[in-house]
Amino acid sequence: MPTNVIMPQMGESVAEGTITKWYKKLGERVDRDEALFEISTDKVDAEIPSPAAGVLTLILVKENETVAVNTVVAVIDGEGAAAVVPAPEEAVVPKPGAAPPAVPPTPSPAAGLSAASAVARPAAFPESAETGELRTSPLVRRIAREHHVDLGQVKGSGLGGRVSKKDILDFIERRSAGGAGAAAPEAPQVTAAPVIFTGPTQVVPMTPMRRQIAEHMVTSKRTSAHVYTVVEAEMTRVVATRERCKEEFERHHGIKLTFTPFFIRACVEAIRELPIINSSVDGTNIIYKRDVNIGIAVALENGLIVPVIKRADEKNFLGIARAVQDLADRARAKRLSVEDVQGGTFTITNPGGFGGLFGLPIIPQPQVAILGVGAIEKRPVVRDDAIAIRHMVYLSISYDHRVIDGAVAEQFMGKIKKILENWDEAVL
């Protein structure tokens, strides 16, 4: 029975996605949950698994084409019958006005496609093992680069020795556990791609992720009444706690003790007292959210991604620290799932990681607030009528004045400041 393959929704505010790579050709077999294509949105680049096993009988959306979520992008013959693949000269784009190839009905109203989108593609012969070329996807090659893996050492389980995402992730996990080679190095620093000038100016098209970030940020500014406030908090006790515990924390738990979990815990406790910070707006209604799902902005080479720690209010300090490390690692390795970027109710971003004193971030829809964390620095401050040197940080909040008043925002920031300055929660 034919199965429609649809463009998934990779986040609440995501309305469309771009197919950047097809891993299967027309007429090729695909297993259920095997990587079928790669997409890019403003929130995530991800491999999309096949919803069924069978033969790819129809490809309706070309590479680098952007379509709405829930649009049918391909059809799989689930009964596994051999597909009739047209010869190259028969694979033509229907003329304007001609009916597109028949597509089984879908419940989504967004599934309509223009004739120009329905392009049948000739099958390509698999790469020959005799060529010596490794059979991998772009995602697998990126993971290999980021983890310094020689793909020649990875045994592929796919057809013809193709190295799948599961193959390389299993290899990295074994290596980290001491099964093969040295431990993987830390993720590299994010750096801007160099621009090669061939004249006075150089025009470079935005990536799909960059285009959609731009669109959604402009939409947020049009939607929410942005207001900002900044407070300064002393971090002396937090810094002392981290310095005292970081070596034992890493030795016992296998992850580094960063400052991020401290800020998340403070935000969670402040939201308990002021739940409107954890709400959204629907017309003239305010929707309060029971679960506190904290989004953590992670900088990538070509954009920004915000994976979500689900039910952060139910986690202890160690649970939050583990979640932060896991999501950050998988975000930089392009291994986030659809669920990882959905459901955020409040977001934290960290311009201080690059030295910024503070930023005034744009609210991610449909949330109503976002916290900006600046750099932690030693500064002279007045304590008991004397000048003292203390670790200090600027914290900013961007909030939606449609539902949050200035007094509430100040109370929220005051609560965070109080928790950080009087930190007494055990981290070990």
Annotated catalytic residues are 401, 405
- Report the alpha-carbon distance of residue 116 to residue 136 in Å, rounded: 30
Q: What is the CA radius of gyration of the chain?
A: 25
What distances in angstroms separate CA 31 from CA 25, 37, 59, one per listed residue?
Answer: 13, 13, 16
For residue 127, give the nearest of 117, 135, 119 by alpha carbon.
135
- Report the alpha-carbon distance of residue 16 to residue 250 in Å, rounded: 40
> How is residue 411 written in tokens?
């109370």
DSSP state of 276: G
Longest dimension (CA), the chain: 86
Contact 41, 10 (CB under 8 A): yes
- Look at the alpha carbons of 127, 129, 133, 136 in this order and tell me if their dihedral is positive or negative: positive
DSSP state of 108: -
The helix/strand count (H/E) of the chain reads as 7, 19
> How is residue 102 written in tokens?
């028949």
What distances in angstroms separate CA 88 from CA 26, 30, 93, 115, 123, one per listed residue?
Answer: 12, 22, 11, 19, 9
